[in-house]
Amino acid sequence: MQFGIYGLKPEEKEFFDAWAAENGVTLQFHQEILGGQTPADFAGDDVVVALQTVAYPPAAIEAMAQAGVKYLALRNVGTDNVPFATLAANGIQLANVPAYSPQSIAEFAVSLTLQLVRNFGYVIQSISHHQYTDAMQRTGKELGTLTIGVVGTGRIGASAVKLFQGFGSQVIAYDPYPNPALKDQVEYVDDLADLWPRVDVVDLHIPGTKENTHLIGADQIAQMKDGVYLINTARGNLIDTQALIAGLASGKIAGAGIDTFEFEADVYPAWEKNEAPANPLYEKLLADPRVIMTPHIAYHTETAVENMVTVSLNNAKAFVETGHAPHELDVAKLADA
Ligand code: NAD
Ligand code: COI
C-alpha cells in the first residue's frame, strides 16, 4: 500500500514515520501542495493525503484519477476548498478529519479576544518604540464583564462557549441546529438579528459555505454595539473585509482578530516566501494596531498535528482495505448542495 502525502510540514514527519512503521505502509512525501501535478506524479499511490488552505485545482484531481487514485484523505476539517463535483465526476472518494482538536481553535479564538480587549496591538507597538507611558495608560476590559456572541456551536464553537464561560463571560449563541450538550448551559437566540445588538464580541465558528459568505457585512455591523470586537478563526469569506475596514475606520468596531482572511488565496504565496503580501486590504488590516492578523494557524498545536496525521492515515488505510473510511464524506451530495 502506498500513500502520496502532499503539503508535508516538518512537524508532521515524526507522526507520519511512526504510523508508517506501525502499519507497514509506504509514504511518498511531497512538500508542495496539490496544484500543477501530472498523472506521473501520483504513480503507485493508492491514496493522496493532503493538507492545504487554498483551493484544490480540478486539474490536480483529474490527474489523480488518470493515475488510478481512487481516494483523497484530507488532514483537516474544512472542505470549502474542495471541488466536490470534480471528485464525483472522477469517482474519487473523500474523507476529512472532523475533530482533530476543537480545543486548539477555540483556545486561539479566546486568546485573540484576550489580546484585543487588553490592547496588545498598541501595547506591543508602544513598547517596541520605548513609549512605556502609552502602554501604561491603555486600560483594558475583563472577559468577565463582556457578553460573547458565539455563532456556530458545533465542535469548536461548543469548546469556545465553555472557555469563555470559564472566564465569567456571559455567552449568547446562535446555531440553526443548537447543540444538545449545551442545552442548559447557554442562551440560544432564534435569529442572528437578536444576537448582534446584545454582544461585545462576535466569535465565528461556522463553515465557509456559499450560504455563509458575508454573513457579516455592513448591515450586520450596523446592528452591532458600538465598540464591538470580531473574531474569525473559521473562514475568511464569512466577513466582508471592506465592511470590516469601514467599521474600524468609523470606530464602530473596536478590534478584530482575523486568523482566516477573505483573500487568503491571494496572500498565501507571499506567506510561503516570508514576503509582505501585496494586497491592499491585507496591508490595511495588518497596519492597524486594533487588528491581529495571523496566517491561518488557529489549529496549530502538537495535539492537533498528531491527530491530523494519524486520523487521516487511518481513513486512507480503511479506504484501501474496505472501500470506505470512518470519516468519509458524500461528494455527490456535497456537489449538489
Ligand atoms: P462543526 O460542523 O462541528 O460545527 C459547525 C456548526 O456551525 C454546526 O453546528 C452548524 O449547524 C453551524 N452553522 C452553519 N452555518 C451557520 C450559520 N449561518 N449560523 C450559525 N451556525 C451555523 O464544525 P467545527 O469543527 O466546529 O468547525 C467549524 C469551522 O471552523 C470549520 O468549518 C472550519 O472552516 C473552521 N476551522 C478553522 C480552523 C483554523 O485553523 N482556523 C481549524 C479547523 C476548523
Ligand atoms: C481546518 O482544519 O479546516 C483548518 O482550517 C486548518 C487548516 C490547516 C486547513
Output the nine-digit C-alpha cell for 99: 475533530
The C-alpha atoms of residue 210 and residue 337 are separated, in whole angstroms, by 10
Query: Which ligand 2 atom is nearest residue 97's CA?
Result: 2
Evaluate: CB of 154 within 6 angstroms of ligand 1: yes
The C-alpha atoms of residue 247 and residue 261 are separated, in whole angstroms, by 16
Evaluate: CB of 177 within 6 angstroms of ligand 1: yes
Residue showing cell 496591508: 283
Other beta carbons within 10 angstroms of residue 283's beta carbon come to 13
Question: What pLDDT does 71 receive?
Answer: 98
Query: Which ligand 2 atom is nearest residue 100's CA?
Result: 2
Query: Which ligand 2 atom is nearest residue 299's CA?
Result: 6
**How far is C-alpha 62 from the chain's CA centre?**
26
Confidence of residue 23 (pLDDT cuts 50, 70, 90): very high
Could you tell me if 315 and 328 are in contact, meaning their C-beta atoms sit under 8 angstroms apart?
A: yes
Is the pLDDT at 4 greater than 90? The verdict is yes
Condensed to tens digits (0 to 9), the pLDDT of residues 59-87 reads 999 999 999 999 999 999 999 999 999 99
The C-alpha atoms of residue 332 and residue 111 are separated, in whole angstroms, by 38
Is the pLDDT at 98 greater than 90? The verdict is yes
Average pLDDT over residues 11-35: 98
Query: Which ligand 1 atom is nearest residue 100's CA?
Result: 43
Q: Known catalytic residues?
A: 235, 264, 296
Is the pLDDT at 30 greater than 90? The verdict is yes
State the amino acid at position 163 in one-letter form. Answer: L
The C-alpha atoms of residue 180 and residue 229 are separated, in whole angstroms, by 27
Task: Tell me the CA–centroid distance for residue 299 and ligand 2, in Å.
Answer: 7
Is the pLDDT at 173 greater than 90? The verdict is yes
Evaluate: CB of 149 within 6 angstroms of ligand 1: no
Pocket test for ligand 2, best of 77, 104, 264 (most atoms within 8 A of CB): 77
Condensed to tens digits (0 to 9), the pLDDT of residues 33-55 reads 999 999 999 999 999 999 999 99
The C-alpha atoms of residue 112 and residue 121 are separated, in whole angstroms, by 11
Condensed to tens digits (0 to 9), the pLDDT of residues 117-147 reads 999 999 999 999 999 999 999 999 999 999 9
Return left, alpha or beta for 214; rule: phi > 0 is left, psi -120 to 50 is alpha, else beta. Answer: left
Mean pLDDT of the chain: 98
Average pLDDT over residues 148-154: 99
Evaluate: CB of 299 within 6 angstroms of ligand 2: yes
Reduce the DSSP state of residue 223 to 3 states and report it: helix
Condensed to tens digits (0 to 9), the pLDDT of residues 238-265 reads 999 999 999 999 999 999 999 999 999 9
Question: What pLDDT does 337 receive?
Answer: 87
The DSSP symbol for 29 reads E
Condensed to tens digits (0 to 9), the pLDDT of residues 159-172 reads 999 999 999 999 99
Reduce the DSSP state of residue 202 to 3 states and report it: strand
pTM for the predicted model, two decimal places:
0.97
Could you tell me the strand order of the sheet in which 228-232 lies? 187-188, 170-174, 147-151, 201-204, 228-232, 253-258, 291-293
The C-alpha atoms of residue 261 and residue 239 are separated, in whole angstroms, by 8
Question: What pLDDT does 306 receive?
Answer: 98
Is the pLDDT at 313 greater than 90? The verdict is yes
The ligand that comes nearest to the alpha carbon of residue 104 is 1
Question: What pLDDT does 119 receive?
Answer: 98
Q: What is the CA radius of gyration of the chain?
A: 21
Evaluate: CB of 157 within 6 angstroms of ligand 1: yes
